[in-house]
């Protein structure tokens, strides 16, 4: 086990411990681990606070934390290794390596490169709720990218994106024949001696020393469940301690760790070079004059702090926040890992350390980020007030709640389910359960605890017959609402349900024939039309496949005997009696 490291008799670090303790107290952070690197040595490694609040267990230098999106740089490192070997080119189309790669935008599909995947210029917004907590495999999510709408032209703008990093990790597998995890383990972790780093919180929970995840609610710290994000691992599932992460920073500062050169200097330069200019406000850093406007390299943010180039990447997932950074010209680096999600204590400590290392007047970053936190809280409250002001009072849903119950599907986002429990409408999406409160008309609000109690507008839509047919939800605010279409009851695909409709139906002397197709579908032959498969709709009603405006409703008496059918189409209804 590693021991705490602290610089002795260094005036720059006078009062450092007290400063960190004050920061984590002010930001309600249970625990923090800090590593400082100079050249190729760790000059400070220390734990603060608690990894387990209930048991009062302290953080030390070997406590494992989730590093979230700081994992992205490991994915670009894997690609850089493949580029060094001549197996991948940053600027060749992804389809040369993965012919089945496909996006909504056909031009982006054909021209997307590994560089585009990893510098956030795909044209896609985040679409995070498509993958968050999803039971789907990495391959299944990859296959659904084609159904996700972009909001910008390809390469026109920088937009932070996790799904393209999932794709980059899948690309590592396509080229190397090894999963992203296996490749990174062998080519990075093992070669660098990062023995306490892993790819899943499920692994962390089996270790001897790991931090528990916490969230701040109403200014109190609450223990929350670990969130497994293995599916999108290349975008953010790595867990590590500060001693392993210090090795990672030494590699980026020096091009190698000891005698181990993981990639060439040329590839490191690719990773650290500005590639896309970022819009202001992404991290709230640009409003401070000491920080330049931000750019993005390949898995790294690149900007200047008080005139010095700083390369960095943060990470935030449920219960954890991390910040990994280095000044390449000065050969300084800092890693801060915490077990509270969405906090800026990592930034406050990191920038204070650089002030100390550079011999500059220490800016009160603690106070600055506390003000940012308060501004964000005020903005959230104003947003809630604005939404409430738009509510139309004294309205009610157009149908009984039972009419909204069922499953609804989107080709990219999958299935959302609605049910009634204790007289209230509940939703379930990606195994996340949400209680719905009526807002107005056929609109409800869904409260999602995992997204910091965000309230999602949920609007039900009717078809021309007045039936609840779709549900519209702004799961990705920067594109049109995601619309899920109602799925028929699964019993309408069962042979025992379908076979009673088979037979001949008299249409005033002409005959329509209904037959069973396979074990789970019906088809109808109408005079003057080819045989057409029927798509289940609801009850005993079907539509013509490819022509949903035409409805076929089978008429059943009280004893369950099929008497006939109605064919509804624009202009009228045709009735037919079942004759055999």
Decide which of 3.40.50.20, 3.30.465.10, 2.60.120.260, 2.40.128.50 is the CATH code for 492-578.
2.40.128.50
What local confidence, expressed as pLDDT, does residue 303 receive? 95
The number of C-alpha atoms within 13 Å of 376 and in the hemisphere containing its C-beta is: 14
Q: Which two tokens stand for residue 365?
A: 């970053």
Give me the pLDDT at residue 455, please. Answer: 84
Boundaries of every domain in the chain: 11-282+293-380, 401-487, 492-578
DSSP readout, 404-448?
Answer: G-EEEEETTTEEEEEEEETTEEEEEETTEEEEEEEEETTEEEEEE
Q: How far, in Å, CA of 190 to CA of 175, rounded?
A: 20
> What's 11-282+293-380's CATH class?
alpha beta
Residues near 262 by Cβ (< 8 Å), separated by ≥ 6? 77, 81, 187, 188, 191, 192, 251, 256
Q: For the chain, list residues with pLDDT below 70.
A: 1, 283-286, 450-453
Element (H, E) at 371: helix 365-389
Instruction: List the beta bridge partners of residue 510.
Output: 507
Q: What is the pLDDT of residue 452?
A: 63
* Contact call for residues 114 and 79 (beta carbons, < 8 A): yes
Per-residue pLDDT at 230 = 97
What is the three-state SS of 111-130?
A: HCCHHHHHCCCCCCCCCHHH
* Alpha carbon separation from 354 to 188, 327, 351, 405, 460 (Å, rounded): 27, 9, 5, 56, 53
Q: Shortest CA distance to 567 belongs to which of 532, 530, 535, 526?
A: 526
Same fold across 11-282+293-380 and 401-487:
no
Contact present, 262 and 191 (Cβ < 8 Å): yes
Query: Partners of 34 in the beta sheet?
Result: 46, 336
Q: What is the pLDDT of residue 287?
A: 75
- Domain 401-487: give its CATH code: 2.40.128.50
Region label for 68, one of left (φ > 0), alpha (ψ between -120 and 50) or beta (otherwise): left
């Amino acid at each position: 086990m590693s021991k705490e490291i602290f610089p002795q008799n260094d005036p720059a670090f006078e009062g450092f411990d007290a400063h960190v303790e004050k920061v984590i107290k002010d930001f309600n952070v249970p625990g923090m681990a800090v590593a400082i690197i100079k050249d190729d040595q760790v000059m400070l490694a220390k734990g603060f606070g608690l990894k387990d609040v209930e048991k009062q267990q302290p953080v030390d230098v070997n406590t494992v934390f989730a590093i979230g999106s700081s994992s992205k740089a490991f994915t670009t490192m894997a690609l850089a290794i493949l580029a060094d070997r001549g197996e991948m080119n940053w600027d060749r189309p992804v389809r040369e390596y993965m012919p089945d790669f496909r996006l909504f935008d056909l031009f982006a599909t054909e021209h997307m490169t590994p560089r585009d995947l990893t510098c956030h210029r795909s044209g896609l917004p985040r679409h995070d709720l498509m993958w968050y907590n999803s039971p789907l495999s990495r391959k299944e999510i990859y296959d659904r990218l084609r159904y996700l709408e972009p909001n910008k032209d390809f390469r026109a703008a920088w937009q932070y994106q996790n799904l393209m990093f999932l794709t980059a990790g899948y690309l590592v597998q396509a080229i190397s024949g090894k999963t992203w995890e296996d490749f990174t383990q062998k080519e990075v972790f093992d070669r660098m001696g990062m023995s306490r780093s892993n790819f899943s919180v499920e692994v962390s929970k089996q270790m001897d020393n790991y931090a528990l995840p916490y969230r701040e609610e109403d200014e109190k710290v609450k223990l929350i469940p670990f969130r497994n994000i293995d599916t999108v691992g290349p975008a953010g599932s790595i867990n590590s301690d500060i001693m392993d992460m210090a090795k990672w920073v030494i590699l980026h500062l020096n091009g190698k760790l000891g005698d181990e050169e993981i990639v060439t200097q040329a590839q490191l330069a690719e990773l650290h070079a500005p590639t896309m200019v970022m819009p202001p406000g992404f991290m709230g850093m640009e409003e401070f004059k000491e920080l330049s406007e931000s750019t993005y390299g390949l898995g790294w943010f690149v900007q200047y702090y008080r005139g010095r180039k700083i390369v960095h990447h943060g990470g935030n997932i449920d219960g954890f926040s991390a910040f990994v950074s280095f000044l390449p010209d000065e050969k300084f680096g800092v890693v801060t890992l915490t077990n509270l999600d969405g906090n800026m204590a990592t930034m406050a400590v990191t920038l204070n350390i650089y002030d100390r290392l550079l011999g500059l007047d220490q800016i009160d970053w603690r106070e600055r980020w506390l003000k940012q936190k308060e501004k964000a809280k005020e903005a959230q409250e104003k947003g809630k007030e604005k939404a409430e002001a738009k509510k139309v009072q004294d309205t009610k849903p157009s149908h009984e709640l039972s009419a909204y119950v069922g499953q609804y599907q989107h080709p990219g986002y999958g299935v959302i389910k609605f049910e009634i429990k204790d007289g209230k409408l509940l939703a379930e999406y990606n195994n996340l359960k949400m209680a719905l409160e009526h807002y107005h008309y056929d609109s409800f609000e869904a409260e999602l605890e995992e997204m910091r109690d965000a309230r999602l507008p949920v609007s039900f839509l009717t078809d021309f017959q007045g039936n609840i047919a779709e549900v519209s939800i702004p799961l990705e605010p920067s594109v049109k609402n995601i619309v899920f279409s109602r799925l028929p009851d699964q019993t309408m695909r069962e042979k025992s349900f379908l076979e009673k409709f088979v037979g001949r139906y008299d249409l005033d002397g002409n005959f329509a024939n209904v037959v069973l197709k396979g074990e789970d579908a019906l088809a109808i032959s109408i005079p003057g039309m080819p045989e057409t498969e029927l798509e289940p709709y609801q009850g005993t009603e079907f539509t013509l496949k490819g022509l949903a405006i035409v409805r076929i409703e089978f008429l059943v008496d009280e004893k369950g005997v099929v008497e006939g059918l109605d064919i509804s189409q624009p202009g009228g209804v045709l009735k037919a009696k079942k004759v055999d």
